[in-house]
Chain A
Amino acid sequence: MFVALRELAFARTRFGLMGAVVALISVLMVLLSGLSSGLVVDGVSGLLRSPITAVAFAEGTRTDSAFTRSLVSSAERDAWAARDDVADAELLGTAIVNARNDDGTPVDLTLFGVERGGFVEPATGEGRALAGEGEVVLSSSARDEGVEIGDVLTVDRVGTELEVVGFTTDQRTFGHVDIGFLDLRTWQEVHVGVPDGGPLPADTYDTASVVALRGVDGALPDLAAGDAAAGTAARTVEDAFDSSPGYSAEIMTMQLIQGFLYAISALVVGAFFTLWTVQRTRELAVMRAIGASTRYLVTDGLAQAAILLVASVGVGLGIGLGLGALVTGTGMPFALETGPIVTGAVLLLGLGLAGAGVATVRIARVDPVTALGENR
């Protein structure tokens, strides 16, 4: 690293500019990662943070909006519950509705009809758990909409009234809409959609959207065998994310942007070090002529790239996390998660080194004979 360090100091403007570009790319990486995680939380935290291991949909349901289209009955639930590798099987009703608060403010909700006291019902951080029909426990994020305990929400069209009795401990959203957990029977009434007093169809209280499953000790049950027995189409909860509204389109968009970002960073770093190597061809030839091995020169070049990358990605991460902290809680779907950010930083470093590695191929090819003769 003898030459590497001295060159970093000597050509500090050039390396500074390059470092600034890498740092900005890192900032963008952090922000995109935060946005991506935020979209996941906003889209499927209701499933992600639940103990559900798999979801059984009605057979033949279209996958992209299965949660709101699927219809199952207690027969399917019972078939799943009878299986040895299934610890819990419960009916879960899902529906996206518009509602209004006491003062007429519109509140959008995803209603999750759960079996009271069952494994899907979440813990409450404020207020109390569901005690009967006509009550609702809302995602903690619903407080941002101005909803408070004791408010009564009225579901549009059907007119069902829901009293807010509690909030969950953390954000529980589905399809970017706050979840309202309510008793399955209330959900079934809303789902059937018959206004107050009207006669209800016979199977009203036997219907839900899906069967929520939990394997024994959290292990994944044998879905294919269960499907054959129950006549359903079950998927792991992660696969079921795709059936949340807009989820796969959002994730694909973010992944495309991130993919391009990584490709660009590798190319930019590769291009910089290629030009830098070309610029140094003469001195590399001289060093080879006086006996420096290819390994010595390549190691030196890669060490230089590594120092530049680590320093600038580090600075970029710092700025990105600072900006991220400012953005969090502003209503933008944004969540800083260690895993994806570390992965992103490692990818930026790895791809940058790969780009610089391409440039070092030129170092290996420099012919020491060119050190002789005409100078530039």
Chain B
Amino acid sequence: MTTTTSTTRTGLGLHDVTLTFGDGDTQVAALDHVDLAVAPGEIVAVVGPSGAGKSSLLAVAGGLTRPTSGRVTVDDAELTQLSGRALARFRRDHLGFVFQSGNLVPALTAIDQLRLVEKITGRPAATPPAELLEAVGMTPHAHRRPGRLSGGERQRVGIARALVASPSVLLVDEPTAALDRRRSHEIVELLARQTHDRGFATVMVTHDHDVLEHCDRVLEMVDGRLSPA
């Protein structure tokens, strides 16, 4: 698997990251001095109760939210140093997102979901969309829209879409929230296999303890603090 980026892959790094909302007495720390390093080819699961700050972790790691303090690095770039526009471009070129239930565009067929990313990035995918769909087992449904796909199938398309830009870091938000046990295993297995094969760093937020066996490391988040589970 080759990558179109010239940067060396060092994975994802969060260094003493704090994210607070509000001020004074009502101040809440969503992330409290978090340190995290995920190496290329490694899949890390983050578990924890609702409201513990799991989504905030993804938002900060993905450059969607700026931390109050601390540094976020992807490969040799420091996200916290980038301007808004440069950040959007960086997200587009180096980060992949997998959302709950796939979060696909309703009007687009499975293959078009992937082509949309090519349109947005303005360059063809390193691996052609048809091959990516093949890799997630969706070739038979390539021309179906999300409305005619099951929850598991939508999530497979969502994963394939995240791979179009050959990301260095893949951020996965509750991928099994709407799936049954068997499909949950299939999806996380797929994520782990893609992570190992393609060599990107994956952070998966979940509260599905069933699927953790497929992950290389499991961390727990409580009240904005991250610790080994």
Residue from the list A287, A291, A296 in contact with B105, Cβ < 8 A:
A287
Contact with B along A84-96 (1 / 0, CB 8 A): 0000000000000
A261 to chain B, nearest CB (A): 32
The CA of A9 and the CA of B107, in the complex, are separated in Å by: 8
Cβ-defined contact, B92 with A290, below 8 A = yes
On chain A, the residues within 8 Å of B65 by CB distance are: 369
Q: How far is the CB of B189 from chain A (nearest CB, A)?
A: 22
Find the B residue at minimum CB distance from A9. Answer: B107
**CB atoms of B116 and A283 under 8 A apart:** no
Q: Is A293 an interface residue (CB 8 A)?
A: yes
| Cβ–Cβ contact B107 & A372, under 8 A | no
> Is B97 interfacial (CB 8 A cutoff)?
yes
Picked from B96, B112, B161, the residue with its CB within 8 Å of the CB of A6 is: B112
Once bound together, how far apart are the Cα atoms of A11 and B95, in whole Å?
Answer: 31
Q: Which residues of A contact B177 (CB under 8 A)?
A: 375
Task: Give every chain B residue within 8 A of A7 (Cβ-Cβ).
Answer: 107
Most A Cβ at <10 Å: residue of B91, B93, B107: B107
Q: Which residue of B lies closest to A286 (CB)?
A: B103
C-alpha spacing A3/B100, complex, angstroms: 21
Chain A, range 280-296, C-beta contacts under 8 Å to B: 282-283, 286-293, 296
CB neighbours (8 Å) of B64 from chain A are 289, 368-369, 371-372
Assuming the contacts A286-B105, A289-B62, A289-B64, asked whether A374 and B100 have C-beta atoms less than 8 A apart, the reply is yes
B89/A291 in contact, CB under 8 A: yes
Which secondary structure dominates chain A's binding surface? helix
B227 interface residue, CB < 8 Å from A? no
The answer, yes or no, to whether B73 is at the interface (CB within 8 Å) is no
A331 at the B interface (CB under 8 A): no
Assess the B173–A372 pair: CB atoms within 8 A: yes
Counting residue pairs across A and B whose Cβ atoms lie within 8 Å, the total is 83
Binary contact readout A263-293 vs B (1 if CB under 8 angstroms, 0 otherwise): 0000000000000000000110011111111
Q: Is the CB of B91 within 8 A of A290?
A: yes
- Of the listed residues B91, B101, B178, the one surrounded by the most CB atoms of chain A closer than 10 A to its CB is B91
CA of A289 to CA of B173 in the docked complex: distance in angstroms?
Answer: 13
Most buried by A among B95, B120, B177: B120
* Those of A20-72 within 8 Å (CB) of chain B: none
Task: Please report which residues of chain B, range 95-116, place their CB below 8 angstroms from some CB of chain A when the two chains form the complex.
Answer: 95-97, 99-101, 103-108, 112, 115-116
Task: Kindly state the interface size class of chain B when it binds its partner.
Answer: 35 or more
Most buried by A among B55, B62, B95, B103: B103
Interface size on A, residues (CB 8 A): 25
Chain A residues numbered 153-182 whose CB sits less than 8 Å from any CB in chain B: none
Alpha-carbon distance between A197 and B95 when the two chains are bound, in angstroms: 105
Complex Cα–Cα for A374 and B55 (A): 10
Q: Decide if B88 is an interface residue (CB 8 Å cutoff).
A: yes
Contacts of B173 in A (CB 8 A): 372-373
CB distance from B75 to the nearest CB of A (A): 16
A371 and B97 CA atoms in complex are apart in Å by 10
- Given the known inter-chain contacts A6-B112, A372-B64, please indicate yes or no for A11 contacting B91, CB distance below 8 A: no
Inter-chain CA distance A369–B92, complex, in Å, is 14
Q: Cα distance A292–B105 when bound, in Å?
A: 13
Contact: A290 with B105, CB < 8 Å?
no
Collect the chain A residues with CB atoms within 8 Å of residue B112's CB. 2, 6
Q: Is B91 a contact partner of A373 (Cβ separation < 8 A)?
A: no
State which of A283, A289, A369, A373 has its C-beta within 8 Å of the C-beta of B106. Answer: A283
Chain B residues near A (Cβ < 8 Å): 55, 58-59, 62, 64-65, 85, 88-89, 91-93, 95-97, 99-101, 103-108, 112, 115-117, 119-121, 145, 161-162, 165, 173, 177-178
Given contacts A6-B112, A291-B93, A373-B173, 10 further A-B contacts (CB under 8 A): A3-B105, A3-B108, A9-B107, A10-B107, A287-B116, A289-B64, A290-B92, A290-B162, A291-B92, A293-B85
Ranked 4 nearest A-B pairs via Cβ: A291-B92, A10-B107, A7-B107, A369-B64
21 A/B residue pairs, CB under 8 Å, sorted by A: A11-B107, A282-B103, A283-B106, A286-B97, A286-B104, A287-B116, A287-B120, A289-B62, A289-B91, A289-B99, A290-B97, A291-B88, A296-B120, A368-B64, A369-B65, A371-B97, A372-B55, A372-B59, A375-B103, A375-B177, A375-B178
